[in-house]
Amino acid sequence: MQKVAISIGDLNGIGIQLALENHHILSKEVEAVYCIDKNMLEQAAKKLDLNIPNDLQTIEDIAPSFNIQPGIVSKESGAYAYASFVKAVELAKENIVDAICTLPIHKKAWELAGIKYKGHTDALRDFFGAEAIMMLGCPEMYVALFTEHIPLREVAPSINEKDLTRFLLDFYKTAKPQNTVAVLGLNPHAGDNGVLGNEETIIQKAIDSANQKINPNYCRGEGTPTYSDPLVPDVAFTPNVRKNYTHYIAMYHDQGLAPLKALHFDEGINVSLNLPILRTSVDHGTAFDIAYKGMKLNNLSYINAIKYIVKN
């Protein structure tokens, strides 16, 4: 049975409820180690009116304790969430655990705590000196993001042949797609042959370079003249096109995640590829609006994040 470190996320949000309510399910799949100390765990469990399982493993001295404030963005909760994440990574680096699974953080809370990273993936790149790839989804559809948490105005200048080619090669090595990967264009109508933008020329060169190194069909369409290569973004997720692909590469955050979450929000997960450790995460936020209110939580994303670790 694999051993997995659970980074507890922002304790003012729903992550700790997910952890407590689903420990009995996780314990059948993995040996979970929760990066939270007993004091904070007991405080959260009391607020949630939940019992703490007898076999739940915790770790002491994560970070200074604080008073949990449900639904509040605070530097204290941000600092604790980051410290929990760092501890999980340390356990993986030291081979004490086989993988890590992260529960949701609040980016503003990290900022208030003085954390320089915008999220887990940014931090992992720095920790390992590796170009981590953010991939989200489920077996029916995975979407990898060439650019992630950057302003939209910075996306087009970020697209260059060298970096995109490296991204495509790294994605192939670590995601191991079995079928042709759909690479999206940037502009409406994939540029309409330059009428609406020329970034598709750069994308096409990167596709050609990757295909030459891997195989001619790695980033190709299905051979029909109806769709351009790269794919026209506004038709790439329609049923007739979607049936041909399980893996997509989007040029920016909302281009890939808006359709993914419309189709597979509940079951989607986040996976960090191209790292020396395996990290998965839920693909949802802290849900401050429902935290500690006794509401039933959908656990599909959390359970699927653990199942991905078991299968990989």
Place 221 in a pLDDT band, splitting at 50, 70 and 90: low
What are the pLDDT digits (tens) for 187-218? 999 888 888 889 999 999 999 999 999 988 89
Q: How far apart are CA 192 and CA 33, in angstroms?
A: 52
What angle (nearest 5°) sits at the alpha carbon of residue 241, between those of residues 238 and 246?
A: 105
Locate 210 and state its tokens.
């990757």
Model confidence at 253: pLDDT above 70: yes
Model confidence at 228: pLDDT above 60: no
The per-residue pLDDT for 285 is: 94
The per-residue pLDDT for 225 is: 41
The residue count for the chain: 312
- Quote the percentage of the chain above a pLDDT of 90: 90
Residue type, 175: A
Alpha-helix runs per DSSP H in the chain: 15-26, 38-48, 75-93, 107-112, 120-128, 155-158, 161-175, 199-213, 239-242, 253-264, 300-311
How high does pLDDT run on average in the chain?
A: 94
What are the pLDDT digits (tens) for 90-105? 999 999 999 999 999 9
DSSP for 61-91? Answer: -SS------TT---HHHHHHHHHHHHHHHHH
Q: Compute the average pLDDT of residues 234-257.
A: 94
Q: How far apart are CA 287 and CA 291, in angstroms?
A: 6
Output the CA torsion sign for 223, 224, 227, 228: positive
What are the pLDDT digits (tens) for 118-163? 899 999 999 999 999 999 999 999 999 999 989 999 999 999 999 9
Model confidence at 106: pLDDT above 80: yes
Model confidence at 302: pLDDT above 70: yes
Q: How far apart are CA 309 and CA 50, in angstroms?
A: 27
Model confidence at 222: pLDDT above 90: no
The per-residue pLDDT for 223 is: 46
Place 54 in a pLDDT band, splitting at 50, 70 and 90: very high
- Quote the percentage of the chain above a pLDDT of 70: 97
Prior bond to 230 cis, omega within 30? Answer: yes
| Domains of the chain with CATH codes | 1-130+275-312 (3.40.718.10), 134-270 (3.40.718.10)
* Phi, psi for 246 (deg, rounded to 5): -115, -20
